[in-house]
Amino acid sequence: MTWKGKDMDTSKRNLYCNLAALCLLAVVLYLFDQYGTEYQIRILNNMAVFITLAVSYNLVNGMCGLLHLGPNAFITIGAYTSALLTMSPMEKQMSFIIEPLIWPFSVLQAPFFVSLIAGGVMATIFAFIISFPVFRVRGDYLAIVTLGFGEVIRVLCNALQGVTNGPLGLKGLQPYTNLWWSWGIAVFTIIVITKLVNSSYGRAMKAIREDEIAAKAMGVDPFRHLMLAFLVSAFFCGVAGGLMAHLITTISPTLFTFFLTFNLLIIIVVGGLGSTTGAVIGAALFAWGGEALRVVESPMNFGAFTIPGIPGMRMVLFSVILMVVIIFARRGIMGRNEFSWNWLFTKLGLNAK
Amino acid sequence: MNDFFRLESLVMQFGGLTAVKDFSLSIEPGELVGLIGPNGAGKTTVFNMITGFLTPTSGRVLWQGEDITGLSVHQITARGIARTFQNIRLFSDMTVLENVMVSFHHKVRSRFWKAMLGLPSHGKEERRIRQESYRFLQELNLGHLADEKAGNLAYGQQRRLEIARALATYPKLLLLDEPAAGMNPQETMELADLVLEIRQKHALTIFLIEHDMKFVMGLCERIKVLDYGISIAEGTPEEIQSNPDVIKAYLGEPKHA
């Protein structure tokens, strides 16, 4: 059996399955859009934003095996860039009361989509600049350098009042982010990153993760490929930052602390480092689970005794779940495996073998 | 003097330690040359200088008329020098086929954005790489293991996969660092046949390090001997076997009663 034959047999079926899955997603989104409560729509939007973030973050941490701790910086840059572009010059003038907004941001205004792309591009530019110092080191040192960068950006957001309005943040953004935008971008991110990971470039990245010395000896330039992953990841983090800004409609530096990076790290570790499917599952569980667990914080009545509502109980339970996952599935829910139609069909016993 | 491959007085110093001193060697196209010496003689250091993992303190590496001293590892690989490693370095969590496919990457022509958008030109290239990689696996009797994780292979198979991976970069000069290490006599014999076979088939020049004397003496046309970083002899297997300096390096001087 040649490889070509095997590919051809299933590729058509997989294409149809993918299209069917997309249609199903569209129908579900439509139903929620029409009949869902505001609360449900909000959770779904959050889920999509976190899927975009986790999938792109996983490209660096999971596929390339780098402990990158600075995605919050790129999310911040994306969020601010995009927010500054969608606000009208009038609004900006009213918001920036301490120090006026510097030119050209003060006069520029762009449609939502353009502002998202601009956020992504701006994040990519910053990623490009810092990739030179970052990739001189590896391992723990790389973690520290990227962590430091995240903090620098946060501090700058507080200090550069002429650009970011400092601690006051930007308020009253238009809630442009709806289900179509957030899920559209999430699906696009998943497709593009999956294609990249499964291509020759993705293999080179994984080879660097497995053994950088051997990868070099096989002709792979580590710097170029790590940078590629880093920039692609930064771009989508920036776009997701823009989505986030127009979902929450108020942004300030406190929103983008290291805690955000930490949440993303938990998501991809629980989902399975190096698995895009895992990142999606992790993000979905995080966004939905975080809300679903609110139940435990309300007062509960067990007939004989009553538990008063304990704020923060949610986080305790969340930690317990985390520990259970790490103990029983050390490599996360998916490990490094990916969902595939072949796998599903084999499980269902439908694969002609 | 030839223009194919020449090492000119390579010196490698680590701080105060001179690991390799004044190492010169010239290899003709198609030759099979061995590098031997006791442990710690600096053999792997020589390989590391050739492949760019170390930049020599002084001296030059000349390859097809070009000075490649100080180039990065991947650039040297792209110029047609491939190597295997003394301690096996496979991409353990990737499949056997993917391990070989990585070697094609430096020649991939479609840009990354074409890959990301899944354009047909990239798909075509991918399929070609897959086919050709599979051919290399079949050649080294690993075809049936293509979808297995590389880390799950038996030791001898892992060694063969390392060679397959190096071959897939389409080298003209292949450096084998102790290919027979840890193999039993039967496997070593098969390996010797394999080395001759791939040399014939891919028109390779081979430079190898090995401790198994039977293997080296039976296989190599010319042997270079290193001891404490100094090359002490060079010649045919017969000449090396009877060279008093070599015997002294390996066995020590006879004690005077």
Q: How far apart are CA B167 and CA B142, in angstroms?
A: 14
CB of B88 less than 8 A from some CB of A: no
Output the pLDDT for position B250. 84
A13 within some domain: no
Output the pLDDT for position B248. 87
A182 within some domain: yes
In which residue are the tokens 């907004």 written? A101
Residue B60 β-bridge partners: B8
Average pLDDT over residues B36-65: 93
Q: Do A199 and B94 touch (CB under 8 A)?
A: no
Q: Which residue of A has its CA nearest to B170?
A: A218
CATH of B5-90+170-251, one of 3.20.20.120, 1.20.120.340, 3.40.50.300, 2.40.360.20: 3.40.50.300
Judge whether A282 and A183 are in contact, CB under 8 Å.
Answer: no
Residues contacting residue A18 through CB under 8 Å, at least 6 positions apart: A341
Q: Which of B93, B102, B131 sits opposite A215 (nearest CB)?
A: B102
Question: Is the predicted pLDDT of residue B107 greater than 60, yes or no?
Answer: yes
Chain B nearest-CA distance from A124, in A, is 15
Residues A136-189: pLDDT tens digits? 999 899 999 999 999 999 999 999 888 888 888 898 899 999 999 999 999 999
Judge whether A173 and A112 are in contact, CB under 8 Å.
Answer: no
Chain B nearest-CA distance from A214, in A, is 6
Output the pLDDT for position B46. 95
Residues B19-35: pLDDT tens digits? 999 999 999 999 999 99
10 Å CB burial of residue B61 (0-12, 13-18, 19+) is buried
Q: What share of chain B is helix, strand, coil (3-state, %, to 5)?
A: 40, 25, 35
A235 within some domain: yes
Long-range contacts from B190-194, C-beta under 8 angstroms, 24+ separation: B191/B159, B191/B215, B192/B218, B192/B219, B194/B140, B194/B160, B194/B163
Judge whether A217 and B103 are in contact, CB under 8 Å.
Answer: no
Output the pLDDT for position A293. 82
Dihedral pair phi/psi, residue B226, rounded to 5°:
-110, 140
Chain A CB contacts of B72 below 8 Å: 216, 221
Chain B nearest-CA distance from A247, in A, is 27
Q: Which residue of A has its CA nearest to B99?
A: A207
Q: Do B127 and A7 touch (CB under 8 A)?
A: yes
Q: What share of chain A is helix, strand, coil (3-state, %, to 5)?
A: 75, 0, 25
Phi-psi region of B224 (alpha: psi -120 to 50; beta: other; left: phi over 0): beta
Which has more pLDDT, B120 or A102? Answer: B120
Dihedral pair phi/psi, residue B231, rounded to 5°:
-80, 125
Residues B185-239: pLDDT tens digits? 999 999 999 999 999 999 999 999 999 899 999 999 999 999 999 999 999 999 9
Two structure tokens written together for B148:
């297995």
Output the pLDDT for position A9. 67
Q: How far is CA A333 from the centre of its chain?
A: 18
Q: Do B118 and A195 touch (CB under 8 A)?
A: yes
Output the pLDDT for position A32. 94
Q: Do B125 and A196 touch (CB under 8 A)?
A: no
Q: How far apart are CA B28 and CA B32, in angstroms?
A: 9
Q: Do A199 and B93 touch (CB under 8 A)?
A: no
Residue A84 belongs to domain with CATH number: 1.10.3470
As for how many domains chain A has, the answer is 1
Residues A51-78: pLDDT tens digits? 999 999 999 999 999 999 999 999 999 9
**B 94-133 residues inside an 8 A Cβ radius of A:** 94, 98, 101-108, 112, 115-118, 122, 125-127, 129-131
Q: Do B78 and A219 touch (CB under 8 A)?
A: yes
Q: How far apart are CA A113 and CA A119, in angstroms?
A: 10
Q: Which residue of A has its CA nearest to B80?
A: A219
Q: Do A218 and B77 touch (CB under 8 A)?
A: yes
The DSSP symbol for A251 reads B
Chain B nearest-CA distance from A195, in A, is 5
Chain mean pLDDT for chain B: 92
Query: What is the domain partition of chain B in residue ranges?
Result: 5-90+170-251, 91-152
Chain B nearest-CA distance from A85, in A, is 27
Q: Do B98 and A203 touch (CB under 8 A)?
A: yes
Residues B9-19: pLDDT tens digits? 999 999 989 99
Q: Which residue of B has its CA nearest to A7?
A: B127
Interface residue of B83, B87, B89, B177 to substitute, partner A, most A CBs within 10 Å: B89
CB of B189 less than 8 A from some CB of A: no
Output the pLDDT for position A119. 97
Q: Do A3 and B130 touch (CB under 8 A)?
A: yes
Output the pLDDT for position B118. 86
Output the pLDDT for position A349. 78
Q: Which of B89, B94, B166 sits opposite A213 (nearest CB)?
A: B89
Q: How far apart are CA B127 and CA B155, in angstroms?
A: 29
Pairing between β-strand B58-63 and β-strand B5-14 as defined by DSSP bridges? antiparallel
Q: Do A199 and B91 touch (CB under 8 A)?
A: no
Output the pLDDT for position B12. 95
How many CA atoms does the CB half-sphere of B53 hold within 13 Å? Answer: 18
Interface residue of A199, A211, A331, A336 to substitute, partner B, most B CBs within 10 Å: A199
Percent above pLDDT 90 for chain A: 65
Percent above pLDDT 70 for chain B: 98
Output the pLDDT for position A7. 56
CB of B196 less than 8 A from some CB of A: no
Task: Please report, in tens digits, the pLDDT of each residue of chain A (353 residues total).
Answer: 444 445 566 778 888 999 999 999 999 999 999 999 999 999 999 999 999 999 999 999 999 999 999 999 999 999 999 999 999 888 888 888 888 888 787 788 899 999 999 999 999 999 999 999 999 999 899 999 999 999 999 999 999 888 888 888 898 899 999 999 999 999 999 999 999 999 999 999 999 999 999 999 999 999 999 999 999 999 999 999 999 999 999 999 999 999 899 999 999 999 999 999 999 999 999 999 888 888 777 777 777 777 777 777 877 887 888 888 888 888 888 888 888 888 888 888 776 54
Chain A nearest-CA distance from B32, in A, is 21
DSSP string, A167-180: GG-B--------HH
Q: Which domain holds residue A129?
A: 37-347
Interface residue of B105, B111, B149, B152 to substitute, partner A, most A CBs within 10 Å: B105
Q: What residues of chain A have any CB closer than 8 angstroms to a CB in chain B?
A: 2-4, 7, 191-193, 195-196, 199-204, 206-207, 210-211, 213-221, 228, 232, 336
Which has more pLDDT, B40 or A193? Answer: A193
Output the pLDDT for position A6. 52
Two structure tokens written together for A333:
């829910």
